[in-house]
Structure 1
Amino acid sequence: MRAHYFQHVPFEGLGSIALWLAAAGFEITSTRFFASAELPDLNMIDLLVVMGGPMSVNDEAELPWLVLEKRFIREAIEAGKPVLGICLGAQLIASALGARIYPNPVKEIGWLPIQGISANDSAVFRFPETEKVFHWHGETFDLPAGAIRLAKSEGC
């Protein structure tokens, strides 16, 4: 199995997700948009993980690769590939599927807990019941039709 991830800035890689993927037997490849916008052949991946970053999904004028990334995400979903988004990554998935992205009433910055949502037992991805992760975001989104929410936090 092959997992591909999108990384937007040098300091936001897979982290512990790499361990989960390796334990599940995935071969891992990446597109690092800060260095190159070269996208993989969609037929060569089984799973797409879209990581976070400090930019907004709406920064297409400054970061034109966002347009290509959103198109690839939409095509991956249409092809039936599982796609996981972390923070900005979740916002990019929502935007690619036409959902609204807007300022969150609360900015979450720092090490804060998230709670996995166990109602999604059929989901490809499973989160621990609770996990402390680093947050740094001020935007949120409406959940697109067909998307599965896997985790939540106090403010988002």
Structure 2
Amino acid sequence: MHIYFLQHAAHAGPARLADWLAGMGHSHNTCHLYADEAPPRLEDCDALILLDGPQAHDDSEAHPWLKREIKLLDRALKSGKPVLGLGLGARLIAARLGAIVSRGTHAEAGWQTVTLAPESPFDLPEQFEAFLWHRDIFGLPEDALPLGGTAASPVQGFAWDAGRVIALQCHLEATAASAAALLDHEPLPAEGPYVQSREAILADPRRFDRLAPLLDRVLSRWLVGAA
């Protein structure tokens, strides 16, 4: 399969995703939307991955390229092709599927425990630690199945259309390097019960290593189901 990444900021790249795809024999390209690159034609890829970014999901006035991305996303959702969204990408998908995207009560920045929903279709442990970086949250679109939630965010992701479309607030693709780049370019949210310091986030690189098998389970199910 040939996958296109839609990237929203120079520092918010694919992280572990690129290596995973290459290791599984899939090819990929990246469209740097923030640099005003034109989105790919849907006919030129087999699947789309919408990455995270600091922008608001509905701020097309400040970021006109968002309109082009949303147009492509709408076509992809109707096309039957696989779509995966992370962070901002997940919020864009949720909004286009009719869910409400809004400001959460608390920001989440750092490591939090995700508890799998009883009806979750994801092959993941009942509880697992994930890296989070968001303030906006979303509801569950109609006909979607939830991933699970944290203390501050009851919906950390969902699967839609039998898993062809997946949206994740939590960052299973994160590495120590990608988290450090994020911390270098985006300020930590204001202090809160779910916000950790830079030192606490990066203290144990093994935490990022433990995300790899979780990502593998999600991506394997996503692409196998799509194929």
Q: TM-score, normalised by structure 2?
A: 0.59
Bigger mean CA offset, 82-91 vs 142-151: 142-151
Give 3-state SS (helix, strand or coil) of 2:3's partner: strand
**Structure 1 residue 148: Cα displacement:** 4.4
Q: Which residue of 1 aligns with 2:142?
A: 145
Q: Which residue of 2 aligns with 1:8?
A: 8
Q: Which amino acid aligns with 1:139?
A: D
Partners of 1:105 and 1:146 lie apart in 2 by 26
Deviations 1:29-61, CA, capped at 9 Å, x for gaps:
111112123111211211111111111112111
Give 3-state SS (helix, strand or coil) of 1:34's partner: helix
Partners of 1:38 and 1:138 lie apart in 2 by 28
Q: Which residue of 1 aligns with 2:199?
A: none
Q: Which residue of 1 aligns with 2:181?
A: none
Partners of 1:26 and 1:148 lie apart in 2 by 27
Decide which structure has the larger Cα Rg and report it. 2
Q: Does 1:52 align with 2:52?
A: yes
- How much is the aligned-residue C-alpha RMSD, in angstroms? 2.2
Q: TM-score, normalised by structure 1?
A: 0.83
Partners of 1:80 and 1:34 lie apart in 2 by 26
More helix by share: 2
What number of residue pairs does the alignment pair up?
150
Q: Which residue of 1 aligns with 2:120?
A: 119
Unaligned runs of 5+ in 1: none
Q: Which residue of 2 aligns with 1:155?
A: 152
Partners of 1:4 and 1:146 lie apart in 2 by 26
**Structure 1 residue 131: Cα displacement:** 4.6
Unaligned runs of 5+ in 2: 154-227
Aligned-pair identity (%): 32
Partners of 2:34 and 2:43 lie apart in 1 by 24
- Contact map agreement 2:59 2:66 (CA 8 A) in 1: yes
Partners of 2:136 and 2:109 lie apart in 1 by 12
Bigger mean CA offset, 146-155 vs 136-145: 146-155
Q: Which residue of 2 aligns with 1:93?
A: 93
Partners of 1:138 and 1:46 lie apart in 2 by 31
